Amino acid sequence: MTTSDRIVLITGTSSGIGLAAAVAAAGAGFHVVATMRDTGRSGALTAAAEAAGVADRVEVARLDVTDADSVAACLAEVVAWHGRLDAVVNNAGSGRVGTVEQDGLDPVRAVMEVNFFGVVDVTRAALPHLRASGGRVVTVTSVGGVVGQPFNEAYCAAKFAVEGFMESLAPVAATVGVAVTVVEPGAVASEFVASQGIDLPALLTAAGPYAPALDAYAARTRTAFDQAQTPAEAAGSIVTALTAERPPFRLQTSDRARAFVGVKLADPDGSAVQGMTAGWVA
């Protein structure tokens, strides 16, 4: 089967990595079902697909990963339209900067709904169709799904949960012919960061005893994003996961990301990670 016969559904494609992945996958020959919660925001994707000459291989569909009915309806429509599903790319996500003493539980629950339970539900709904096609589950996590980061407690908790879920699912899915890969970007220059609506002065004012640590963390983070990847660069790793003959389970999107998660993966007692991240808030 050629890639032009293969159907991939990608979540969260209105901007950033998801948009770039939809265009890149179409460029690699896939037919892409590019989903987003609000299809009124599809203009940037449509323009990018037209500019790349792949508009005929990109279709936009509505999917809210936090709504079980929306997930079921979208997957049913895709299979009804195309007769098959060959891959799912779980990309939709949301971030959160804060700390639990001041935030409480509601923001943690909200982030988990999108970043974890949404991924679980889309994957669950897709698996019968992926079993039939010998397909793939590709999930965009983060280096924050390997290394916990200050003031990203909710976000990292959700990404850690996704990594654990997928690492546990992978050998089970393999027994029925489905490959599972997690893609771990580091800093990416995209609308994801801007869309979080972070008002740093207001956060610092409200941070109380955590203000010095938050100020130090913000300064360090600005430096990290000065060296960020482009969404297109990160999307290249997603296409690799979709097209490699034997995709790895874990795939970082840059040398910096590989070096960063390597600290954790070679840190059995946790001291190396704690020593590294403590410096971000000192």
Give the active site residues: 155
| Nearest residue to 181 via CA among 206, 200, 163, 193 | 163
DSSP of 27-77: HTT-EEEEEES-GGG-HHHHHHHHHTT-GGGEEEEE--TT-HHHHHHHHHH
Q: Tell me 152's DSSP state.
A: B
* CB environment 77-100: b (16+ within 10 A), e (fewer): ebbeebebbbbbbbbbbbbbbbbe
Distance CA 25, CA 198 (A): 31
- Residue 261's nearest CA partner among 154, 162, 167, 183 is 183
| H/E segment holding residue 164 | helix 153-174
| Length of the chain (residues) | 282
Residue-wise burial string across 207-243, b where 16 or more C-beta atoms lie within 10 A, e elsewhere: beebeebbeebbebbeeeeeebbebebbbbbbbbbbb
Task: Report how far residue 44's alpha carbon sits from residue 181's, in angstroms, rounded to the nearest whole number.
Answer: 27
What is the C-alpha separation between 250 and 141, in angstroms, rounded?
Answer: 10
Contact (Cβ atoms closer than 8 angstroms) between residue 258 and residue 229: no
**Number of H helices and number of E strands within the chain?**
13, 7
